[in-house]
Amino acid sequence: MQTLGLILSLLLGLTPRAIANSPPAPVQETPTATTFYAQNGTGIFGLAGRPNIGVTFMSIAIEADNKVDMSIRLADGRLISFGGTLIKGDAYTLDIRLSGSGMADASGGVTARYGANQRILSATANGTLDGQTFFITFRGNSQ
């Protein structure tokens, strides 16, 4: 069988070494669906010049093109949404650059840790929202 491989390689103009050391071409899959992370929990949303308010829920949706939609539900029932881009993600952490919030300008960063079943374990964010500094801290309920 080795002789047959040698003959084929010579007929094809390849050296036996080229055939033996050729690694398989890597196959990269491009995600085609939205990845969703969410959790009820407790946290704080602070915006300069206003009293801090509690956060009861956080969700993060990441599209295949790394566009991010992040939302928090405040203790009074209001929902605040941000848009952004996933900068880095691994098996436990998401780093997000914020780029907008509905009709408002927003910039800043978010670091979120997640666990089993894509539940958000904790998240911190800070930046500016319409020129005012803001921060978010969040800790997901353990289940």
Is position 83 within any domain? yes
pTM for the full predicted model: 0.75
pLDDT tens digits for range 35-77: 999 999 999 999 999 999 999 999 999 999 999 999 999 999 9
- CATH, residue 71: 2.30.31
Q: What number of other Cβ atoms are within 10 A of residue 106's Cβ?
A: 20
Is position 14 within any domain? no
Range of the domain at 46: 35-140
Q: What is the enclosing helix (H) or strand (E) of 111?
A: strand 106-114
Is position 30 within any domain? no
pLDDT tens digits for range 72-103: 999 999 999 999 999 999 989 999 999 999 87
| Confidence at 6, pLDDT banded by 50, 70, 90 | very low
Q: What is the enclosing helix (H) or strand (E) of 19?
A: helix 16-20
Is position 46 within any domain? yes
Q: Is 45 left (phi over 0), alpha (psi -120 to 50) or beta?
A: beta
Is position 28 within any domain? no
Domain count, the chain: 1
Q: How far apart are CA 34 and CA 124, in angstroms?
A: 22
